[in-house]
Amino acid sequence: MYIVFMGPPGAGKGTQAERVAEELGLEHVAPGDLFRQAVKQGDRLGAEVKAFMEQGILVPDNITIKVILERLLSQAGGEGVVLDGFPRNYNQAVALDEALEQQNKSIDWVVNIQVSQPELVRRLSSRWLCRECQAPYSVDGREAEAVRQCPACGGGLYQRPDDNPETVTRRLQVYFAETEPLIDYYRQQNKLVEVEGEGGVEEVAGRIIRALGYDGGDNN
C-alpha cells in the first residue's frame, strides 16, 4: 500500500501522515524530516540541502529523488509506505510512478489536505516544535516563552528556521507553482482523496481515515 499526502505547508500534512501511517501499520517517509535530520547531523546530505531549505525552495530533484527512491527500495518488503512531502513536482511524480511500476506496485491513494491561505500563514508563524518529540504546538511568541516546555514530554520548544514570515511566503509560492498542479495529475488517475484540513487534529484524522474507507475502530 502506497499513500501520498499532499497539501500546502501548514496544512497539517506531517501530523496526519504520521498518524495514518501508525494506524495502518505503514512506514512514514518524509523528505523534510530526512533532510532536517541530515542538517542536524552535519553530514554530506545535510550540507547539500541546507541552503535550499533555509530559502524555502525545493532541494534539487537529483538529490531528492535519489534519497527517497533509495529509502522506498529499502522498504520494499514491508506493508507499504505513507509518503509525506514527496512528490512535490511533476518530475518527482513521474520518477515515483516509474520506480513503483518496476516493482509491479503503484500509488493507491493521494490524500490532499485543504486549508485556506490565511489560516496557513497564521498556523506557520505561530508554530513551535518540541526538540525532543517533535510535537507541534500552535502558540504565539509570548506564550511559547512562558510555556517553554512540551506538555507531552517536557522537552524545550523551538521554531523551525524556515517558519519565519519571508520563508513561509516563499514556501507557499513554491507549493502553488510546483506542487499544486500534481492534484490534477492524480485526479486524472482517480487516486485523489480530498479532505478538509481545518478543525482539530482528531477531527481531521477521523475524516482522512473515513475517506480512505477505514472507519471501523473506536471512533465515535
Residues in touch with ligand ADP (CB under 6 A): 9, 13, 31-32, 35, 52-53, 56-59, 64, 85-86, 88, 92, 162, 171
**147 lies in the binding site for Zn ion (CB under 5 A):** no
Shortest Å distance, C-beta 220 to ligand ADP: 31
Are 5 and 113 in contact by the 8 Å Cβ rule? The answer is yes
Shortest reach from residue 128's CB to ligand ADP, in Å:
14
Give me 126's grid cell.
505561530
Residue 180 in 3-state DSSP? coil
Q: Which of 36, 88, 123, 207 is catalytic?
A: 88
Active site residue 142: no
Minimum distance, C-beta of residue 1 to ligand ADP, in the bound complex (Å):
20
Q: Are strands 109-114 and 136-138 parallel, antiparallel or unpaired?
A: unpaired
19 among known catalytic residues: no
Q: Between residues 72 and 210, which has the closer beta carbon with respect to ligand ADP?
A: 72
Pairing of strands 2-6, 81-84: parallel
Residues pairing with 158 in the sheet: 129
Nearer to ligand ADP, 159 or 219 (CB): 159
Closest CA to 12 of 186, 220, 207: 207
C-alpha cell at 117: 491561505
List 23, 27, 61, 132, residue binding Zn ion (CB under 5 A): 132
Torsions phi, psi for 166 (to 5 deg): -65, -45
The residue among 31 and 197 lying less far from ligand ADP, judged by its C-beta, is: 31
